[in-house]
Amino acid sequence: MARSAESTRQRILAAAYVLFRQRGYSRVSMDEIASATTVTKRTLYNHFQSKDQLLAAVLETQNELALAAFKTFGDQLTGSPSAIVDGLFRDLAVWADKPRWAGSGFTRLVIELADLPGHPARAIARRHKAQLETHFGDLLKRAGVRDAHRRAREIWLLSEGAISLMLVHGDRTYAAAAAEAAKRLLRGSSR
Amino acid sequence: MARSAESTRQRILAAAYVLFRQRGYSRVSMDEIASATTVTKRTLYNHFQSKDQLLAAVLETQNELALAAFKTFGDQLTGSPSAIVDGLFRDLAVWADKPRWAGSGFTRLVIELADLPGHPARAIARRHKAQLETHFGDLLKRAGVRDAHRRAREIWLLSEGAISLMLVHGDRTYAAAAAEAAKRLLRGSSR
DNA sequence: GCTTAAGTATACCGGTTAGTGAATTTACAT
DNA sequence: ATGTAAATTCACTAACCGGTATACTTAAGC
């Protein structure tokens, strides 16, 4: 083996994710990714066959990371259903308040590629969102919510809607409105 | 004057909208738009200074059209709050069921340009969504809903979320779930 | 110290893109 | 019929993009 081997691959994946999340897929070039990783374009192509496959690998990696992060986050939330919802949307508001926030990388990329149903990135993003929704449903169930997975889906709808509308309007009070609605939905669903 | 004059401009705007909505902004070329309008690229640039300004003009036009359409749609809905919500989400499901559906053109384009806060398209899209939300609020108010505009915002969040998740999953039952949630939110808000 | 995988440097290819220039042709209004 | 606005034709630029080729250098393991 020579030099760093596997770590180079990780550096590429990390740099590519930052760029893709920030500016989407088409408007990020391979030269740019190479430059951000301080690596030659040739090295990029030694690790990934094409730009599309790089994107797929990036999403796969981020799926694992985000899922792990969400599970840790969920384990911290052990209070009432209302507290869980408040925590979820508070985190959303904080996240959306970052200077150059551009929404969920997954959603953003899927919407950019919405006319390419066969793109590998879409299957990964789909699985990702499904896993998050399911995990959130488990969380609500553990907190004693009736019809937990149905409520989880509804709250997830509110959360995705808030992301969209905050992006369009730049108005992060949508997170608070979504939180209020979510708590209204939970009312009368405590077991 | 010569030939068709203003009508050419309208043809360009219509063709460009179809392409932008279908495939986004970056991946549609000016040559393609010209070809779809059966017009020369030179003519395109006689009517619009740049691709960005063409996009802005397209959104401006579609804003007027969509707003008018939504107002007609709203006038047809004169029943109970539940009936209004059902109508809204039934229309959403039908819309999303179209073969090559790719979400709301406005949302799609804003998300693609999420990292360009100064882009003219964003201001137009923002105004568009705000007008729709306000009009929907008026509709609920007329139907006797308490806190009508707050409820309208919450239901709008559900609707935007449904669009996002239907795009990601290709599963149009999200519209039904959103409708159920919306009706739950309205429960106890009838005046 | 040699081997060998990993990375560098750099030039290149074919294709596409937004946008321009300039001369020409079309069609409508008077 | 004639002026003129509108549209055509088509060649062209300058930049960018994904991806490849070749020859060279580096560093780690044995």
**Interface test mutation site (partner A, options B85, B110, B154, max chain A beta carbons within 10 A):** B154
* Protein-proximal nucleotides of chain C (any atom < 7 Å from a CB): 4-11, 16-22, 26-29
CA distance linking residue B119 with residue A37, whole number of Å: 29
Residues of chain A found within 8 Å of residue B23, distances taken between Cβ atoms: 115
Confidence of residue A191 (pLDDT cuts 50, 70, 90): low
Q: Which of residues 22-81 of B touch A (CB under 8 A)?
A: 22-24, 26-27
Compute the nearest-CA separation of A41 from chain B (Å): 23
**Complete domains list, chain A, with CATH:** 51-186 (1.10.357.10)
CA distance linking residue A188 with residue B13, whole number of Å: 50
Closest CA to B185 of B84, B78, B74, B82: B82
**In chain B, which ranges are continuous DSSP H helix?**
6-23, 30-37, 41-47, 51-76, 81-96, 105-112, 120-142, 148-169, 173-186
Using the CB atoms, write b or e for A148-177: b if 16+ within 10 Å: bebbbbbbbbbbbbbbbbbbbbeebebbeb
Residue B6 burial (C-beta neighbours within 10 Å; 0-12, 13-18, 19+): exposed
Rounded to the nearest 10 degrees, what angle do helices A81-96 and A51-76 cross at? Answer: 140
Angle at B161 between CA B155 and CA B166, to 5 degrees: 125
Report the largest interatomic distance among the alpha carbons of chain A, rounded to a whole angstrom: 62
**Interface test mutation site (partner A, options B32, B109, B115, max chain A beta carbons within 10 A):** B115
Q: pLDDT tens digits, residue range B26-50?
A: 999 999 999 999 999 999 999 999 9
B96 — contact with chain A (CB < 8 Å)? no
Confidence of residue A117 (pLDDT cuts 50, 70, 90): confident
Average pLDDT of chain B to the nearest whole number? 92
Q: pLDDT tens digits, residue range A56-93?
A: 999 999 999 999 988 887 777 778 999 999 999 999 99
Q: pLDDT tens digits, residue range A19-65?
A: 999 999 999 999 999 999 999 999 999 999 999 999 999 999 999 99
Closest CA to B105 of B135, B129, B133, B131: B129
Residues of chain B found within 8 Å of residue A159, distances taken between Cβ atoms: 161
* One pLDDT digit (tens) per residue for chain B, 191 residues: 456 667 899 999 999 999 999 999 999 999 999 999 999 999 999 999 999 999 999 999 999 998 998 888 777 777 899 999 999 999 999 999 998 899 898 989 989 999 998 888 889 999 999 999 999 999 999 999 999 999 999 999 999 999 999 998 888 999 999 999 999 999 978 76
Q: pLDDT tens digits, residue range B154-171?
A: 999 999 999 999 998 888
